[in-house]
């Protein structure tokens, strides 16, 4: 394993811990979503016409998918399933 691979893995792990923190993760995800929306809006105001429409529509299309990835509802049910599976396998 190269040092670059290790550093990338550590950075991804740190970001995951930051955003999936049980106490403040939801607020951090909402803040990141708001910043991404503002970035898209700012890009639409300043970019050339063709580019702004293309990037703005791409960002708007990605937002629902990002919300579903970072939502607690799907994570909590899969965590409960995993926990039940782990308990049953250790008996």
The total number of structural domains in the chain stands at: 1
Residue 33: which residues within 8 A CB-CB, separation 6 or more? 63, 66, 67
Residue 47 three-state SS: coil
Tell me, what's the pLDDT at 91? 47
Quote the percentage of the chain above a pLDDT of 90. 10
Res 70: pLDDT: 66
Band the pLDDT of 75: cuts 50, 70, 90: very low
Range of the domain at 74: 3-89
More confident residue, 50 or 15: 15
List phi, psi (to 5°) of 47.
-80, 160
Name every residue whose Cβ is closer than 8 Å to that of residue 21 and which is 6 or more positions away in sequence.
28
Q: What is the pLDDT of residue 7?
A: 92
């Amino acid at each position: 394993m190269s040092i670059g691979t290790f550093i990338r893995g550590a950075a991804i792990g740190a970001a995951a811990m930051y955003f999936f923190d049980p106490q403040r993760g939801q607020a951090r995800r909402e803040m990141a979503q708001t910043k991404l929306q503002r970035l898209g809006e700012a890009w639409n105001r300043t970019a050339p016409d063709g580019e702004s429409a293309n990037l703005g529509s791409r960002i708007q299309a990605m937002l629902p998918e990002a919300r579903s990835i970072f939502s607690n509802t799907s994570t909590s049910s899969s965590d409960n399933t995993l926990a039940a599976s782990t308990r049953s396998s250790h008996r």
